Structure 1
Amino acid sequence: MAPRNGSCVTEAGSIRSLSSEDMTAAAKSRRKKSCWARATDPARKTGRRLQLLQLLALPFIPILALIIQTATTLHEILIYRQEVSEIETQVTIATDLGKVVTRMQLERSEVAFFIYTNGSTLRSNLTQRFAITDQALNNMTTWPLVSVPRDDEEKAQKNDILSKEAFQARLEDFRKKIYSEGSSIAEVMAWYTSVNAAMLDHLTNQIKETDNSGVWRYLIAFKNLLRSIESLGIASVYGINYFGRGTLPNDNYISYVRHEALGYDLLNGSLTYVPTLKRLYAELTRSMPDYDRIKSRRDEILKNQKRMISVDDAIAYFDSMATYIDELRKLQRELRHMIKEYVNKNLKDATNKEVAGIAILAIVLLISPVIIMLVRTAVGTIQIYASNLAEKARELKKEKKKSDSLLFQMLPPSVAQQLKQTQQVPAEYYEAVTVYFSDIVGFTEIAAENSPLEVVTFLNSIYKLFDARIECYDVYKVETIGDSYMVASGLPVRNGDKHVSEIATMALDLLAASSVFQVPKRPGERLQIRSGAHTGPVVAGIVGSKMPRYCLFGDTVNTASRMESTGEALRIHISLEMKKALDEVGGFKMEHRGLVDVKGKGMMDTYWLECKDGGIARAAELDVPTFFEDVRPVFMRRLREEGTL
């Protein structure tokens, strides 16, 4: 054989060489479809009906989704409206309860002032103040169960939880006690503070802080403002004590500081949640003539320096704090008005959204029949076109699979895919691959003794067997020229150091498989092949445009060819480089041949590959009689069937 400086890859080792019989079987298998695929085929009457139902059902999906969405939105709007209405009801109840708390706060202040002055001042006003509180109690439509302290002899026990009537009775008893027994200021503060705290706790627990809208900010501000007024009212009672008694005991002073700081902190919180109140509060403080005096008196109380007892100062402080707290109650009423406006606005928005949702739902229900009719008309046209298109698509797919099968036989799959996608495959350098060559000993004489058709049949049977055997290995079938058979491993997909062992095992396998062949017209004589292999670097790339080939170039190809041509029958001739690579892998037995004069290379030290430890583990055994029932090429059998031969 002539030396080669390049050769072309025709098929990847992982893709089996497809014969004409294989192509025919593959075509038949592709014709088989699943039951569902046949049922939905637009070329069939059943398939057209199914597709018509599918396309008619398609418009119902967005229509149904829109109906569900609208219904869900309407449901959410109704729930939201109910929540807003509940908030409105809660705030209304809270306002009524707040009035009672306000009256109780004012009553607490006047009663405390009455006790501080030992009944010498404002005694005539208590009856009127009690009547105002009773009126606020009678106006309440709902009443929380309030925890009220028990009598003196039962202080160690728990408080009573009273109804409205029981609370009024207990309140009346407490008022009589103020006149008759001269209650202490601590007892008065404890009783009124406990009642107001219970009412405020009930109020704040009943008002829900919803996050469905921005009303929660107003609600928190409303709660904080109520508690701020309560804390400042308690602090003012201790302030009256300071001016009426000249000083505050340590416990009372601590209570004043705590309640005064808590009151202003809650007030600042309300102003933060509703910034509009800041402007109103600023105007309030500017319009109050005694606001600066209130600040100075607060600073005086915080110092708690002993001073002269002055009922006039206590009255003035009481009046100024009452005026200041009344102004804060104006803020409370303004905040109540804001909540009402906000709730009304949200209710109006909810109504508008509800009307819009109902209108959308009605429009959808009216238009949907028209859409269905239009879709049904369009489907009929589409089905006619789809029927023709499906037939053409099947034909195109069938032809594409044929062309792809042929392409994958001519080129490695990875290279073929890259060539189809980018229209070019750049040449690539491979540091280490193993190239294998084999040819038939005495093929020239065999060809001379047989007819051309017999020679073709003989070669076809050999290559068919070889192609089946190399399927078991990670190799690429490069080409067949006459009786020459070329295989490579390690490209186009690199496989590390496996290429050497893959080629070596494959060579032993092909050598063993070739022994089943009998030479035509030579009874008893078996086929003999001569093999050679070499390991080294190569350059590979696509050559040509009309009939592109994946070709290998480099001295490695030439050396592998020389190993085969200088070898012997039924032996595998390998180079020193391949022998060293096999030694690193291990598991192969080699025999030293010695120096051989290789054309173009000079003297080379070469080896015979003898066998593999443990034998060759074949992936599949061949049924030789079945395999060789008819090894003639398909075109010859077709000609015989047609009577040409």
Structure 2
Amino acid sequence: MSPRNGSCMAEISSVRSLSSEDVSGAKGSRRKSCWARTTDPTHRRGRRIQLLQMLVLPFIPILALIVQTAITLHDILIYRQEVSDIETQVTIATDLGKVVTRMQLERSEVAFFIYTNGNTLRSNLTQRFAVTDRALHNMTTWPLVSVPRDETKTQKYDVVNKEAFQERLNDFREKISSEESSISEVMAWYTSVNAAMLDHLTNQIKETDNSGVWRYLISFKNLLRSIESLGIASVYGINYFGRGILTGDSYVSYVRHEALGRDLLNGSLTYVPSLKKFYDHLTLTMPDYGKIKSRRDDILENRKRQPSVDDAIAYFDSMATYVDELRKLQRELRRMIRDYVNSNLQDASNKEVAGIAIVVLVLVISPIIIILVRNAVATIQMYAANLAQKARELKREKRKSDTLLFQMLPPSVAQQLKQTQQVPAEYYEAVTVYFSDIVGFTEIAAETTPLEVVTFLNSIYKLFDARIECYDVYKVETIGDSYMVASGLPVKNGDKHVSEIATMALDLLAASTVFQVPRRPGERLQIRSGVHTGPVVAGIVGTKMPRYCLFGDTVNTASRMESTGEALRIHISLEMKKALDAVGGFRIEHRGLVDVKGKGLMDTYWLECKDGGIARAAELDLPSFFEDVRPVFMRRLREEDTL
């Protein structure tokens, strides 16, 4: 091991005075990162970011509610539009259905006119044509339908408008006569026109939608087609009673349209079960309903009979009455559809009003919520800033108290005492203990005032405390003029405690010579030093002002080395001498046997110096160093001119 050069540069393992920041670790001394500062509510930027976050936070559910309400309103508007479209479609279908009805009645009476060879007992065709024309005139819209080009070429169609259809209908009517017109031509023309109108009507009405009215719509369409099929069948029935028999094709057509009409009627009643009761009531109150069934059976048997205009009129009247009853059923269904659509429209309007009210309420409340949140955040930030300030003050005071505590106790022991409230005594196998006192201190104290003694001791110990900071030692205590230092505890340092105490003792001895004894001009301070090495037991003693004390024969021997020493000399034991010889680098002078109280004769030595020398205390800038050596209370007294 190379000898020390005596400089005050501490070795890597030297123990320095620690603050609370050192004990708690390096985390407390690190500076905050940029992100931590930006999110810290105690900083201005952090407060702005936090305020923005707190304002955005309640705005997210508000925005979600607005979006959800807007989507709901959009769906309601679409739903309402669909229901309105259904209402429009059903209205158009009703107007078109009236035209179809008038065309069906016109077809029946034209057929009756032809089958009965121009009989006009049942009705006047001119009046019937006028009724149909009025129905055509009352239509607000006219669909594009296809009608036969002429009576013979039924497979060719022209797409016409309302005026062209009226003109084409008038042309067809002028050619109707009992002799020249063929029943098949008349049936083909009217049936194709009605079929075209019904196809357009049923194609325009949706069979599925979101309103739930689709069952009524399907029932409505089936009822229209049922009336059309039954009307076509009635024409063939008039042919049977007016001519006496149905030919093959006519009979097949009657059966087909009769069966189709009944099936469509049953399907309509199935889709809207409430109509069945209404239909049963119609059949019960209809006087000739039983005759309709019997005549239908007669036609299905198709037995040849005598032509009878009266029977044809009776059949025509009964079927017209029956179809009129079915049209009552159609009007009832139309009323149900209207009520259902109106109910849906009212419900949609209520939902629309509620949605708009929610949006308006949210838009009105949102600024209030934002203002309240902003005020709350500002209040929280104010309290956070105050709390941060108090935390900094508390941390500063804690640092002061910890610094004071670590000056009274070893940092590791103090930390353990704070955490566990107790520190068990510990045995150390090798520790070096140093004692020193002032030669003639009793006489010096007797010659000076107490305040001068305190100032004198304070200046000496401040210098000593500053010098021992350069070494791996621990100041145990000072009692009067006695100064006790140990090395090797509480943190063990191997064999370094011997050289650390020896070098420190030489340094303190050299530094003490710069002091002048009070009221003794020209006399310098003289100290006695004693050092011994060996085992000790260390621990905390007491609960009021606890002290870290050393016990054992090593402490007593070191104290005896000091008391039996001489001024300006460092008295060491034989054990200390052997330890220094093992370390090397120190000059030692043999003193001889000394009678030590309680120990008897002991072979002791003088520690002279260290090879290479040490930093001299005279190198200190004494005037500046001692400018502030007086205790605080003394400076205050001097300021008050009490001294």
**TM-score category of the 2 structures, normalised to the smaller one:** 0.5 to 0.7
Whether the aligned pair in 2 keeps the contact of 1:41 and 1:48 (CA below 8 Å) is: yes
Once residues 193 and 313 of structure 1 are traced to their aligned partners in structure 2, the CA distance between those partners, rounded to angstroms, is: 24
Question: In structure 1, the residue corresponding to 2:319 is in which secondary structure?
Answer: helix
Shift of 1:176: 1.5
The residue number in structure 2 matching 1:74 is 73
The residue number in structure 2 matching 1:148 is 147
Matches within 5 A, 1:161-172: 161-172=159-170
Equivalenced residue count is 376
Matches within 5 A, 1:361-440: 361-372=359-370, 373-374=372-373, 376-377=375-376, 380=380, 384=384
Matches within 5 A, 1:434-449: none
The residue number in structure 1 matching 2:53 is 54
Q: Deviations over 1:305-353 (max 9, x none)?
A: 3333222222111111100000010111111122222222222222222
Whether the aligned pair in 2 keeps the contact of 1:42 and 1:386 (CA below 8 Å) is: no
- Higher-Rg structure is 2
The residue number in structure 1 matching 2:229 is 231
Matches within 5 A, 1:212-611: 212-372=210-370, 373-374=372-373, 376-377=375-376, 380=380, 384=384
Q: Gaps spanning 5+ residues in structure 2: where? A: 1-24, 392-428, 430-488, 498-533, 535-643
2:230 counterpart of 1:203? no
Structure 1 residues 300 and 376 mapped into 2: Cα distance closer, same or farther (>3 Å)? farther
Structure 1 residues 32 and 122 mapped into 2: Cα distance closer, same or farther (>3 Å)? farther
Q: Deviations over 1:464-497 (max 9, x none)?
A: xxxxxxxxxxxxxxxxxxxxxxxxxxxxxxxxxx
Once residues 165 and 334 of structure 1 are traced to their aligned partners in structure 2, the CA distance between those partners, rounded to angstroms, is: 31
Once residues 32 and 237 of structure 1 are traced to their aligned partners in structure 2, the CA distance between those partners, rounded to angstroms, is: 106
Shift of 1:274: 1.7
Whether the aligned pair in 2 keeps the contact of 1:235 and 1:256 (CA below 8 Å) is: yes
Once residues 181 and 37 of structure 1 are traced to their aligned partners in structure 2, the CA distance between those partners, rounded to angstroms, is: 105
Q: Gaps spanning 5+ residues in structure 1: where? A: 1-26, 392-452, 454-634
Whether the aligned pair in 1 keeps the contact of 2:83 and 2:344 (CA below 8 Å) is: yes
Once residues 60 and 77 of structure 2 are traced to their aligned partners in structure 1, the CA distance between those partners, rounded to angstroms, is: 25
Once residues 126 and 263 of structure 1 are traced to their aligned partners in structure 2, the CA distance between those partners, rounded to angstroms, is: 26
Once residues 29 and 249 of structure 2 are traced to their aligned partners in structure 1, the CA distance between those partners, rounded to angstroms, is: 99
TM-score, with structure 2 as normaliser: 0.53
The one-letter amino acid of 2:347's match is D
Once residues 642 and 48 of structure 1 are traced to their aligned partners in structure 2, the CA distance between those partners, rounded to angstroms, is: 54
Question: In structure 2, the residue corresponding to 1:178 is in which secondary structure?
Answer: coil
Whether the aligned pair in 2 keeps the contact of 1:232 and 1:263 (CA below 8 Å) is: yes
Shift of 1:52: 3.0
The one-letter amino acid of 1:109's match is S
Once residues 308 and 138 of structure 2 are traced to their aligned partners in structure 1, the CA distance between those partners, rounded to angstroms, is: 38
Structure 1 residues 180 and 191 mapped into 2: Cα distance closer, same or farther (>3 Å)? same
Once residues 75 and 34 of structure 1 are traced to their aligned partners in structure 2, the CA distance between those partners, rounded to angstroms, is: 51
Whether the aligned pair in 2 keeps the contact of 1:42 and 1:383 (CA below 8 Å) is: no
Shift of 1:211: 2.0
The residue number in structure 1 matching 2:612 is none
The residue number in structure 2 matching 1:456 is none
Whether the aligned pair in 2 keeps the contact of 1:52 and 1:376 (CA below 8 Å) is: no
TM-score, with structure 1 as normaliser: 0.53
The one-letter amino acid of 1:117's match is T
Matches within 5 A, 1:182-201: 182-201=180-199
Bigger mean CA offset, 40-49 vs 108-117: 40-49
The one-letter amino acid of 1:112's match is A
Question: In structure 1, the residue corresponding to 2:125 is in which secondary structure?
Answer: helix
Shift of 1:230: 0.5
Shift of 1:37: 6.0
Shift of 1:141: 1.7
Structure 1 residues 290 and 638 mapped into 2: Cα distance closer, same or farther (>3 Å)? farther
Shift of 1:51: 3.2
Shift of 1:303: 2.4
Q: Deviations over 1:95-145 (max 9, x none)?
A: 111111000000100111111112134486111111111111111121112
Once residues 382 and 240 of structure 1 are traced to their aligned partners in structure 2, the CA distance between those partners, rounded to angstroms, is: 99
Whether the aligned pair in 2 keeps the contact of 1:114 and 1:122 (CA below 8 Å) is: no
The residue number in structure 2 matching 1:421 is none
The one-letter amino acid of 1:203's match is L
Shift of 1:232: 0.7
The residue number in structure 2 matching 1:586 is none
The one-letter amino acid of 2:253's match is S
Once residues 163 and 257 of structure 2 are traced to their aligned partners in structure 1, the CA distance between those partners, rounded to angstroms, is: 30
The alignment yields a C-alpha RMSD, in angstroms, of 3.6
Question: In structure 1, the residue corresponding to 2:124 is in which secondary structure?
Answer: helix
Whether the aligned pair in 2 keeps the contact of 1:43 and 1:387 (CA below 8 Å) is: no
Once residues 30 and 121 of structure 2 are traced to their aligned partners in structure 1, the CA distance between those partners, rounded to angstroms, is: 108
Whether the aligned pair in 2 keeps the contact of 1:150 and 1:159 (CA below 8 Å) is: yes
The residue number in structure 1 matching 2:127 is 128
The one-letter amino acid of 2:119's match is S
